[in-house]
Chain A
């Protein structure tokens, strides 16, 4: 099983709403990531969790709040978003950094539209 599962696939939310994106993997990976991708642009790193601890926050606005409840799950809580936050949000995972040849597996993404 090399799947990273993201839900929901599509989300439309208002600027005053609170919603969450969810990501799950059962490959025993200990590094998990959130990326944001705008149309025709490369993915941009938002957060990295390593062994369930926030390792990197790429100066992401506080209206995005990540959470890693356990080694298999990664959430992204959304609150008071702006229309420019509309994008594809990609979750990814990989083995811990002591291994070699770590492939990073991406989920199918969650398409977010803020209205």
Chain B
């Protein structure tokens, strides 16, 4: 059974600091997703990572994937208050047509 673990589950940080959210998964996967969710809102797609060594960047966020370690990271550079949200990683197994979410990381950036 596929398990997806994120850590930390809650993160409070100062503006201007850097930090990394980790996503571990338990079985071989075809692709990994990162989503952002604001309170009371739906999920916004941030990144889709397909292959070992994939790195994608958008603004202050950068995601990477190590399929051998079954690990993805979401790195936040020089955080700003607007990045406060819950961030989910999600992993799928093509043969099962399933996408399983991690528990989410609630990020609170203090001005």
Answer whether residue A87 sits at the interface, using C-beta atoms and an 8 A cutoff. Answer: no
Q: Which of A40, A45, A90 contacts B43 (CB 8 A)?
A: A90
Number of B positions contacting A (CB below 8 A): 23
Which residues in A have their C-beta under 8 angstroms from that of B94? 97
Q: Which of B50, B88, B97 contacts A42 (CB 8 A)?
A: B88
Proximity string of chain B (81-102) to chain A, C-beta cutoff 8 Å, 1 when within and 0 when not? 0000000101000101111111
Q: Contact check, B96 vs A56: say whether CB atoms are below 8 A apart.
A: yes
Given A41-B103, A48-B97, A101-B50, also A107-B33 (CB < 8 A): no
* A107 CA to B101 CA, complexed, in Å: 16
Distance (whole angstroms) from the CB of B56 to the closest CB of chain A: 11
Distance (whole angstroms) from the CB of B9 to the closest CB of chain A: 10
Which residues in B have their C-beta under 8 angstroms from that of A105? 45
Q: Contact check, A42 vs B104: say whether CB atoms are below 8 A apart.
A: yes
Number of A positions contacting B (CB below 8 A): 24
Answer whether residue B41 sits at the interface, using C-beta atoms and an 8 A cutoff. Answer: yes
Answer whether residue B31 sits at the interface, using C-beta atoms and an 8 A cutoff. Answer: yes
Distance (whole angstroms) from the CB of A16 to the closest CB of chain B: 28
Within 2-47 of A, Cβ neighbours of B (below 8 Å) are at 31, 33, 40-45
Q: Contact check, A109 vs B97: say whether CB atoms are below 8 A apart.
A: no
Binding site for A on B (CB under 8 A): 31, 33, 35, 41-45, 48, 50, 88, 90, 94, 96-104, 106
| CB pairs A–B below 8 angstroms (30 shown) | A31-B97, A33-B99, A40-B106, A41-B103, A42-B88, A42-B101, A42-B102, A42-B104, A43-B43, A43-B88, A48-B97, A50-B97, A55-B97, A56-B96, A90-B42, A90-B43, A101-B31, A101-B48, A102-B31, A103-B33, A104-B45, A104-B90, A104-B99, A106-B42, A106-B44, A106-B45, A107-B42, A108-B41, A109-B41, A109-B42
Binding site for B on A (CB under 8 A): 31, 33, 40-45, 48, 50, 55-56, 90, 97, 100-109
